[in-house]
Structure 1
Amino acid sequence: MTAGIDVPDVRGRTGLDRAGRDLSGNPGVTVRDVELLAAAWHVLRRTTYDYRRRDGTWTTEQRETYDRGDGATVLLYDPSRRAVLLTRQFRYPVYVNGHPDGMLLETAAGLLDGDDPAAAIRREAAEELGVAVGELRPVFAAWTSPGSVTERLHCFAAEYGIASRTSEGGGLADDGEDIEAVELDFDEALRMIDTGEIADAKTIMLLQWAALKGVLDSDR
């Protein structure tokens, strides 16, 4: 008996080795086996599949996938003051991989955890930044690390102002979160992409989207 397969794991899940076995959208891919390598908070699998190459020949390949669920993020911007509101928090994975101190500037974000993307990002904006989000603008959804991570990130933008700041935010202390709200001039935020002070992919994408669309331009 294996936790996560035959009996519930710490999150009450079973059948974690079934993911992908019923895929049929690509006739050039046949899933042969799915192994559960780890099931802590998130899930690591190794999948063996047959793949038909462009020349018609078949090969057998293996890939490891890390399944942490899908997520959502939002760029909060104040057009009247040409400002954006970001989070700053410690991220151990970037710290261990070369970031000077692991303190990363990011758009508010989180996993869906069973909610639809809009509800999830409203929850995260309230928890992390203390903002009650009004109208949400869907921007795009993207796979941010498609070679190994299954997560699809739903990206939004929304206006905020003084009246929408309902608390100081900070995240959930019970979850170990210690999040600082950082308000930046939009042009300064764009400059910080060039200097590397903003190095988070989702944040860079949304800031550059805002620049391309001119959402903070005074003549809009």
Structure 2
Amino acid sequence: MADRPGIEIPDHRGRTGLDEAGRGLDRNPDVVVEDVALTSQGWHVLRRTRFAYRRKDGRWQTLERETYDRGDGAVVLPYDAERRRVLLTRQFRYPAYVNEHPDGMLVEAAAGLLDADRPEAAIRREAEEELGVRLGPLTHVYDTYMSPGSVTERLHFYAAPYTPADRVSRGGGLAEEGEDIEVLELPFPEALSMVRDGRIADAKTVMLLQWAALEGPFRG
């Protein structure tokens, strides 16, 4: 058998051993990973895993699941408590567009993949690239698995205060990565209203705005 890109030899991103993820996992005695097959290795990685699962009645069942591995990410809600405003983005999202969103232009909190960075460093980088703002102290809100039925991603949530003096550029993202991001500075009540009427339909953004209203800088 010829050497396979992403397994025995490097793929287009220099990766090997992409079929190793999950092999040897033993944290749950009721799950035994039997085989991992690499089914796609584009920018991110799709795997099919076969595992034995011990049900509550003691019977073992063989299952197969596909997992999409795009790495972990971080997201931040910059807020100006004095002016009662938040910084968000608007950008085109093809997956939403093809799944019945009217135009694919989603209003979101700034976010990005960690790559090789720690979550705090990654979200500071994304805030400067997307929003043009240099963040001060970060508040860690929570970490969540956003779509655990099929996507491995864990998202690290943050909030951070900002003032107009913290703006260091126009933002907009990186054109070489296909980003064309509009920066939105919105009154917090308007952002909440956009959640209620569906103009904000992005889960991570809804979660951060609701946190800000219930427990964060705009509670009460």
Match of 1:132 among 131, 134, 137: 134
Q: Quote the offset at 1:22 in angstroms.
A: 1.4
Task: Give 2:16's aligned residue.
Answer: 14
Helix, strand or coil: the match of 2:115? coil
Give the corresponding residue for 2:97: 95
Distance 2:216 2:104 in 1: 31
Partners in 2 of 1:34 and 1:214 — Cα distance?
Answer: 42
The answer to whether structure 1 residue 164 and structure 2 residue 199 are counterparts is no
Runs of 4+ residues deviating >6 angstroms: none
Structure 2 CA distance for aligned equivalents of residues 53 and 119 of structure 1: 41
Task: Pick the aligned partner of 2:64 from 50, 53, 62.
Answer: 62
Instruction: Return the alpha-carbon distance in structure 1 between the equivalents of residues 107 and 216 of structure 2.
Output: 22
Alpha-carbon distance, 1:216 to partner = 2.5
Question: Are residues 1:149 and 2:147 paired?
Answer: no
Counterpart of 1:2?
Answer: 4
**Structure 1 position 213, deviation (Å):** 1.1
Q: Deviations over 1:67-97 (max 9, x none)?
A: 0000000001000100010000000000000
Q: C-alpha distance in 1, partners of 2:107/2:156?
A: 18
Size of the aligned set, in residue pairs, is 218
The aligned residue for residue 197 of structure 1 is: 199
The one-letter amino acid paired with 2:102 is P
Please name the residue that 1:181 is paired with. 183
Counting aligned pairs with the same residue, the percent is 66
Residue 122 (structure 2) aligns with:
120
Q: TM-score, normalised by structure 2?
A: 0.98
Query: 1:46 is matched with which residue?
Result: 48
* Matches of 1:115 and 1:22, distance apart in 2: 26
Paired residue secondary structure (2:136): coil
Offset from partner CA, 1:19-43 (integer Å, 9 cap, x none): 0001110000000000000001100
Supply the distance in 2 between the matched residues of 1:175 and 1:158 (Cα, whole angstroms). Answer: 25
Quick one: distance in 2 between partners of 1:54 and 1:168?
55
Q: d(CA) in 2 for partners of 1:178 and 1:214?
A: 30
In 1: Cα distance, 2:98 partner to 2:11 partner = 29
Code of the residue aligned with 1:143 in structure 2: it is Y
* Segment of structure 1 superposing worse, 180-189 or 42-51: 180-189
- The residue matched to 1:123 in structure 2 has which SS? helix
1:214 offset after TM fit, Å?
Answer: 4.5
RMSD in angstroms over aligned alpha carbons? Answer: 0.9
Counterpart Cα distance in 2 of 1:200 and 1:5: 35
Q: Deviations over 1:154-183 (max 9, x none)?
A: 000001111100011000011111000001
**Structure 1 Cα separation of the partners of residues 173 and 216 of structure 2:** 30
Gaps of 5+ in 1: none
| Alignment gaps of 5+ in structure 2 | none
